[in-house]
Structure 1
């Protein structure tokens, strides 16, 4: 399948740039309000529509902020780990599996030093990561587990899905291959519905590269590849989103309806802050279940529907819905970046993302694209060889039958 050009003629390189930009934009837009409820965001900000937004924790002590800074275009671990996965592909120039999580990702987060924007210094990324992502190091290096069992025992969350976009790109045009590779790789990090979400998001992004694809096609492919609670949650949100779009519901009404729909599948709620009062009381919201779903992915798909696939509005509606705002923004941004290509990239926003984070997203994207092209070339050669072998086997079978 030819995925080098989409329906409006944008090249693969431009679409990869758009996915990476979509990740960084959604991340940076949502980061200042992460863990606030939709009501708290409305009360404090009205509506967040600009990267030049002040972090809601600005003014707190450095200890309270854990030494971090956010706002005004600064990205978080969502983007940092996406870039780490891109670098693994650039080194290996092949498809990945759980052993690459145990080797490549452990090296990336633990033993390499990069500029960490939130810390405003070069450091191993693990110094910034949340515990479910530190689990990668603990399981693979400290415990020496079978790489395929790396995710077992981890807190179930969206941590693998938030950086999985590069797998969708590497498998552009083949959602099933994207799903399979994402599961094979991310099982070294996540389990249960957290792992499922990674596979489904990769499939959605791979579908978005197919010429002529619509938002409806992407949601259908996501639903059809999903299992258990993730599949049911996507169906519930998609049905609600279609009804809300037809009636022209405003963003606040959409948020309220979506959070009502997702409640049976996610017990996250509005209180995301880990604090002493919660000690010893593990929430069932983060435990394995055949019935649950992370909420970020179904919500991101829902906002893609209600906004008619409008990149900026989908990301803005997503992050203004509250809770895990940056990851919702990342997922909506990566899907619609893949769908629309470079047209979604605002020059001023791109410049701010680069300057605030001391990176060149265009250059990093183009380097990754070269790796993707090489992997695609190997895939096509392998497919041709397989087809030739099967033709010969079929010919031999027919001759034997005669």
Structure 2
């Protein structure tokens, strides 16, 4: 196990390193950086509590109030130091780079190749943080010769939603059909299902709306509309309607005390890798915290379950709404130092695609 992921991972170097337009006076840049770093923030805060029950998180950590190292008995993140990001951030960087290289288009086979290369690198480092179940099954199918448009027909987990933030950075919220098309490209090879696409559309739309200047309520409304549109794409699979569950989950926690709300999210909404649990859980966290990036990321981390992904999705939306300036500067420095994280050049290039 290495000390931390290098989240500058790329299977291929950017062919246009000099394409760096000046966006320093564009207010959307702060919000776009807030989305990418907010994702990494939630990911790193939730890293040590993933696959733990909410009760075990409370027993071991009391309340997570900052970056913690993973315990040696954690079956996924054992050995990771405080502030380390996981596959959520790594794969979001891969998607961002493919979007940049493809000028807004993601080639499904390139994505498959890059994800397989990423896992190979993780295994070589001794990491236990590998591909999720839907992604792994789909990429194994691609390796057997299954066409990419068929490989992801059973993917129902949150793997597409966790890595979709750069699509939201690179794509305006309207027209919605164009946003959904780009999300589908990022989903197809691993999560080409009604549930997988709907969850990814919700996160991408909320991020995109935030970058465009929307407040939290409008960003959540954009997520609901996009989830409804996304549920009409891909292969149908049985699963609760994500748009309806986002609305319900947000209403469930509003006005509740934090401890009571966390119990409700854990017991009723669910915190598993299933899209229809973890995506609504992330939006419930946003509703509970008012979209404050630090509080949203911490709240997600304290849930347990798939806490790194829930906190990452919530952190991305909160960061998009409030901007990088709303993230604690010392926390951002830790993310950069521990993970060699440098998202600014890529974010600038993605923003030009809007």
Q: Which TM-score band (shorter chain)?
A: 0.7 to 0.9
Could you tell me how far apart the structure 2 residues matched to 1:318 and 1:144 are? Answer: 36
Q: Does 1:258 align with 2:240?
A: no
Could you tell me how far apart the structure 2 residues matched to 1:34 and 1:302 are? Answer: 18
Change (3 A) 1:310 1:366: same
User: Aligned runs of 1:175-324 on 2, under 5 Å?
Assistant: 176=176, 177-190=178-191, 191-211=193-213, 213-227=214-228, 229-242=241-254, 244=255, 249-262=256-269, 268=272, 294-324=276-306
8 A Cα contact 1:175 1:202, kept in partner: no
Report deviation, 1:262: 2.0
What SS does structure 1 have at the residue aligned with 2:190? coil
Question: What does the per-residue CA deviation read over 1:184-220, in whole Å, with 9 as the maximum and x for residues that have no partner?
Answer: 4302211231232011211111111222x22111111
Could you tell me how far apart the structure 1 residues matched to 2:241 and 2:188 are? Answer: 18
Could you tell me how far apart the structure 2 residues matched to 1:252 and 1:132 are? Answer: 32
Question: TM-score, normalization: structure 1?
Answer: 0.72
Q: Does 1:132 align with 2:134?
A: yes
Could you tell me how far apart the structure 2 residues matched to 1:240 and 1:92 are? Answer: 41
State the partner residue of 1:325.
307
Q: Which moved more, 1:224-233 or 1:333-342?
A: 224-233
What SS does structure 1 have at the residue aligned with 2:276? coil
8 A Cα contact 2:50 2:308, kept in partner: yes
Unaligned 5+ residue runs, structure 1?
A: 273-285, 287-292, 377-402
Change (3 A) 1:327 1:23: same
Report deviation, 1:299: 1.4
Report deviation, 1:73: 0.8
Q: Does 1:336 align with 2:318?
A: yes
Report deviation, 1:68: 5.0
Q: Which moved more, 1:132-141 or 1:187-196?
A: 132-141
Q: Does 1:89 align with 2:90?
A: no
Question: What does the per-residue CA deviation read over 1:230-284, in whole Å, with 9 as the maximum and x for residues that have no partner?
Answer: 1221121122233x2xxxx322111122334426xx8x4xxx9xxxxxxxxxxxx
For residue 78 of structure 1, the aligned residue among 74, 85, 88 is 88
State the partner residue of 2:174.
174
Could you tell me how far apart the structure 1 residues matched to 2:85 and 2:175 are? Answer: 28
Unaligned 5+ residue runs, structure 2?
A: 1-21, 229-239
Question: TM-score, normalization: structure 2?
Answer: 0.81
Change (3 A) 1:85 1:153: same
8 A Cα contact 2:48 2:77, kept in partner: no
Structure 1 segments (4+ residues) deviating >3 Å: 64-68, 111-116
Change (3 A) 1:371 1:321: closer
8 A Cα contact 2:119 2:130, kept in partner: no
8 A Cα contact 2:31 2:323, kept in partner: yes
Higher relative contact order (CA 8 A, sep 6+): 2
Could you tell me how far apart the structure 2 residues matched to 1:224 and 1:250 are? Answer: 28
Question: What does the per-residue CA deviation read over 1:34-67, in whole Å, with 9 as the maximum and x for residues that have no partner?
Answer: 011221111111111211x1313x1x4xxx8579
Could you tell me how far apart the structure 2 residues matched to 1:45 and 1:188 are? Answer: 38
